Amino acid sequence: MQQQRVTGIVTDATNGEAVIGANVIIEGTTIGTVTDIDGKFSLEIQKSDAVLVVSFLGYVPERIQYTGQSAIDVKLVPDITKLEEVVVVGYGSMKKKDLTGAAIKADIESFRESPNTSIMQSLQGSVAGITIGQTNRAGQDPSIEVRGQTTINGSKDPLIILDGIIYRGRISDINPADIESVDILKDASSKAVYGAQAANGVIMITSKGGKKSQKPVISYSASYSISEPTVKHRLLNRNEFLEKVKAIEYKRAYTAESGYTEPNPTWDYTQSEMLPAVVAGANNGTEYDWWGAATSRGHLNNHVVNVTGGGEKISYFLSGGFTDQKALIINDEYQRSHFRLNIDSDIAKWLTVGTNTFVSFADFSGAVPTMANLRRVASVVTPKDADGNWVINPNGDNLVNPFLNAQALSSDKRHQINANFYGLVKIPWVEGLTYRLNYNYTLDARNNDIFNEFDAGLTGYAKKETANSYFTLLDNIVNFTRSFNSHNINATFVYGYNETNWDGTIAEGDGFSNTALGYNSVEQATNQFISSGAWEEKNLYQMGRVAYNFKNRYLLTATIRRDGFSGFAENNKFGLFPSVGAGWVVTEEGFFNIKAIDYIKVRASYGVTGNQTSRYSSLASVESGDNQKYVFGDGGQTQNGLTVKSMANGDLTWETTDELNAGVDFTILDNRIRGSIDYYNARTKDLLWDVVIPRVTGFSSVRTNLGELKNHGIEINLNTTPVKTTNFKWDLNVTFASNKNKIVSLLGEDKDGDGKEDDLISSGLFIGESIGTIYGFEIEGIWQVDDEVMSGYFPGTYKIKDQAGPDKTAPDGNITAADDRVILGESKPIFTMGIQNTLAYKNFTLRFFSILLMEVKTVIWPTIICPIYSLQVWPQVQTGLTHTMSGHLLIRALDMHRNG
């Protein structure tokens, strides 16, 4: 055909307004144009079967078949996919636009290719208010905090829900490639459905499923990544170490006449205070890189294969995979094999059954060097002697060779079977009424064996340990969903029960004359020890929730949950946890006509969640052993017996957290900017704590309820698309969170009579301060050679600020722990931010991510207590000292850490 010109106009289907800057391209080519200020366009077309694709950010793309027409009018429909997004909220799911609480779906697609063994590691910084800790061992689960810390002594971990079932296993056992979505419930209104177990937030993980009426699709993926430390720790090399020795012993190593700048020609290392083994290494030119020998480049290798598909009445998802991880420390390795089977089958129109089951085999075998000792060994000594034998004490003191622990035979294998089965019944005679039965059985087993011939005074040590955990759950869920004209209602009732049983046995011994059989010869040990134990705990719960909205404009959610736990005494076994939330979609109102705002919803919620005690802490317990003997007759006969180990507290009750949340969800500028802002304020009372009691009672402490803790913060999630053209797109996602907690009250005592409630200094707890406050001495600098050094110190040691004397009024010239320690800062960040950029050009995508932690301090005592082998060298011996002269800095007196 001849080249023809087509003109047209692109408008918004909802209001008829022109869409400025819309892309109009011929499909399969790079030929295209954009609409002008009136939404108009003009384009030359050469093919009669051409297809025009019209697209613009915030709208559903439109495909138009060209049939020779000279003018085309295009109406673009706003893309409300994000508003229709379904969020898993506990015992069901809801559309995001209908939520009244702070629940958010994590963008895991952006992080699927991240080199992590756990999906949680990929969420760091991607969701506001979620803090994911670092891992220091291969295969290790990271620590997780949702909205900071709301307890002192209770459980701090969020509740993990996998496919609607409480999950008690390791998160690293769940293959990230099997996960469909991750939703986080953060405020009391959304997490109150889990009551006493949800005070620290709820993370909902949903695994992938199959698709009905789809032929089998087989996929395979493999990845390999390498890892290097971001900050490389380096011990002193030979020259640095020897220079530091001379700096420490400057009064002998340098001449006084020169002001300690010129070396003393009569001094050598044999005159130093170093141990003979270190002196020998210094004199014979020995140098060894201990840190380099203990570390190597890490890697992570993943292989995953899955099959998905289904027929008319059945869908399935099968997957299997293998993970091999090697961390930065030698012998720190992790291997995992996993298999998953998810099936859904429509047995009848009214009955659906299914299973979500996976099996995981994990191997943590391998013993690593003793890292604390590694920092304390000199670079002028070696781990082996000239004959290739291990040197037990390289420095010549009682410091054990850090590589001896790595020679141990170690087998640490764990496996988990997690089987979920369900049946869903649609009640035929009541529209919208369903009944679902969930059943879960989880077996988590561990076999941990170790043999080290260098342990127990070089006589050898062996241990064989087995532990098994059995978790059983049964949930009965009734749901009713119905719409009446403009009224929409969803009601859920749950009655459930779960039980955990554990048993374990340890057989260990030392003193072996024959080490050939390793840990399989515990019976040959001179000294043998056997211990075993078992425990159980049970939970019973009921929950009711009603979600109502009118015209999708006014939203209301009310929840109440009753929890029972076997660990409490009879009069406090049950706790009640209510919540309520409301929302208003302002943009649904007729009076709202701000064109720049596509969608805005304001919401508020209030609710109560809880924390339960440990399984036997409210009960008196007894123990037996060789030290518990009863005397009979004239004292010549004794018999092992039982003694009371802990005191009962029949009044021990639930730790409760009430929380207020206010938030807004918004979409503006034709869906170019999307996000949410939340403010929360929580108060935890009846804190679970072990209170010290007089020894005359026969006990050291008793678990009780006391005190109050406040926790508040702000969260911002922002998703934007600054640039979008035909071939290029730039997405920018920003998260920001601020969290601050404060201890309001503890024991309620004022023993020192200062008119204020006493702190628990020994536990690092201070009234008016945050959990994790760093308490210690304030450092003013380094004592210089020319200084008038305070008694007990010498040049090169820290100069500690003299805060006050016993009267707390003025410095007294003495440094004491009681008078001179102060609050130094926070060990947890007050502000966190995550910034993710995604640049897409045609079929290529580049992502880069940054995490910022602000207003946080860390305790460096592990470095301070290291000896001179790992600290910086003085730049000069006589003036300008900027580093301490030795790691042996009377650390016990300094007590740099509040828990020291």
* Residue 147 identity (one-letter amino acid): R
Of the ranges 68-72, 217-221, 739-743, which one carries the lowest mean pLDDT score? Answer: 68-72
Assess whether 110 and 14 both reside in one domain: no
Q: In which domain, by residue range, is 182 found?
A: 82-209
Higher pLDDT, 675 or 272: 675
Which single residue is written with the structure tokens 């300094």? Answer: 894
Q: At which of 209, 234, 267 does a domain end? A: 209
Of the ranges 754-763, 796-805, 865-874, which one carries the lowest mean pLDDT score? Answer: 865-874
* DSSP β-ladder status, 214-227 and 333-348: unpaired
On average, the pLDDT of the chain sits at 85
So what's the pLDDT on residue 660?
Answer: 96
Query: Three-class SS of residue 768?
Result: coil
Assess whether 11 and 110 both reside in one domain: no
Question: Residue 500: which pLDDT band, with cuts at 50, 70 and 90?
Answer: very high
Alpha helices in 440-481 (DSSP H): 455-458
Q: Please report the beta strands in 407-553, taking only residues with DSSP state E, as ranges in sequence order.
A: 409-426, 433-452, 461-484, 487-510, 527-550
pLDDT at residue 280 tops 70: yes
Assess whether 561 and 430 both reside in one domain: yes
Of the ranges 250-264, 458-472, 533-547, 550-564, which one carries the lowest mean pLDDT score? Answer: 250-264
Question: Which CATH number does the domain housing residue 58 bear?
Answer: 2.60.40.1120
pLDDT at residue 294 tops 70: yes
* DSSP β-ladder status, 32-34 and 23-26: antiparallel
| Domains in the chain, number | 4
First to last CA, the chain: 85
Assess whether 65 and 134 both reside in one domain: no
So what's the pLDDT on residue 82?
Answer: 54
Assess whether 192 and 87 both reside in one domain: yes
**Does residue 512 lie within any of the structural domains?**
yes
Assess whether 152 and 71 both reside in one domain: no
* Residues 6+ away with beta carbon under 8 Å from 555: 98, 99, 100, 547, 548, 549, 581, 582, 583, 584, 585, 601, 603
Buried b (16+ CB within 10 A) or exposed e, 693-725: eeeeeeeeebbbbebebbbbbbbbbbbbbeebe
pLDDT at residue 238 tops 60: yes
Higher pLDDT, 803 or 634: 803
Quick one: how far is CA 42 from the chain centroid? 54
Fill in the DSSP letter of residue 617: T
pLDDT at residue 309 tops 50: yes
pLDDT at residue 891 tops 70: no
Question: Residue 886: which pLDDT band, with cuts at 50, 70 and 90?
Answer: very low
pLDDT tens digit sequence for 110-129: 676 677 778 887 777 788 88
Of the ranges 214-228, 328-342, 491-505, which one carries the lowest mean pLDDT score? Answer: 214-228
pTM of the predicted model as reported, rounded to 2 decimal places: 0.83
Both tokens of 665, joined, read: 């969800």
So what's the pLDDT on residue 33?
Answer: 84
Among 798, 807, 815, CA closest to 888: 798
Once rounded to an integer, what is the mean pLDDT over residues 821-846? 84
Higher pLDDT, 545 or 21: 545
Assess whether 93 and 12 both reside in one domain: no
654 near 196, Cβ under 8 Å?
A: yes
Query: Three-class SS of residue 705?
Result: strand
Nearest-5° Cα angle at 339, 334 to 342: 140
Torsion of CA 876, 878, 879, 885, to 10 degrees: 60
Query: Three-class SS of residue 422?
Result: strand
Assess whether 458 and 496 both reside in one domain: yes
Q: At which of 545, 566, 587 does a domain end? A: 566
- The pair phi, psi for residue 215, each rounded to 5°, is -65, 155
Assess whether 424 and 523 both reside in one domain: yes
**Does residue 441 lie within any of the structural domains?**
yes
State the DSSP string of 681-694. EEEEEEEEEEEE--
So what's the pLDDT on residue 873?
Answer: 43
Q: At which of 522, 542, 566 does a domain end? A: 566
So what's the pLDDT on residue 879?
Answer: 47
Q: What percent of the chain has pLDDT over 70?
A: 92
Among 176, 217, 207, 169, CA closest to 323: 176
**Does residue 647 lie within any of the structural domains?**
no
pLDDT at residue 859 tops 60: yes
CA-to-CA separations, 370 to 178, 290, 412, in angstroms, rounded = 36, 12, 18
pLDDT tens digit sequence for 331-351: 999 999 999 999 999 999 999
Assess whether 135 and 43 both reside in one domain: no
So what's the pLDDT on residue 725?
Answer: 76
Q: Counting Cβ atoms within 10 Å, is residue 501 exposed (0-12), middle (13-18) or buried (19+)?
A: middle
Assess whether 88 and 26 both reside in one domain: no
**Does residue 672 lie within any of the structural domains?**
no
Query: Three-class SS of residue 152?
Result: coil
pLDDT at residue 100 tops 60: yes
Question: Residue 501: which pLDDT band, with cuts at 50, 70 and 90?
Answer: very high
Assess whether 33 and 173 both reside in one domain: no
**Does residue 205 lie within any of the structural domains?**
yes
**Does residue 165 lie within any of the structural domains?**
yes
Question: Residue 633: which pLDDT band, with cuts at 50, 70 and 90?
Answer: low
Question: Residue 871: which pLDDT band, with cuts at 50, 70 and 90?
Answer: very low
So what's the pLDDT on residue 872?
Answer: 45
Which single residue is written with the structure tokens 């301070």? Answer: 864
**Does residue 638 lie within any of the structural domains?**
no
**Does residue 318 lie within any of the structural domains?**
no
Distance CA 210, CA 318 (A): 9
Higher pLDDT, 451 or 372: 451
Among 308, 153, 304, CA closest to 223: 304
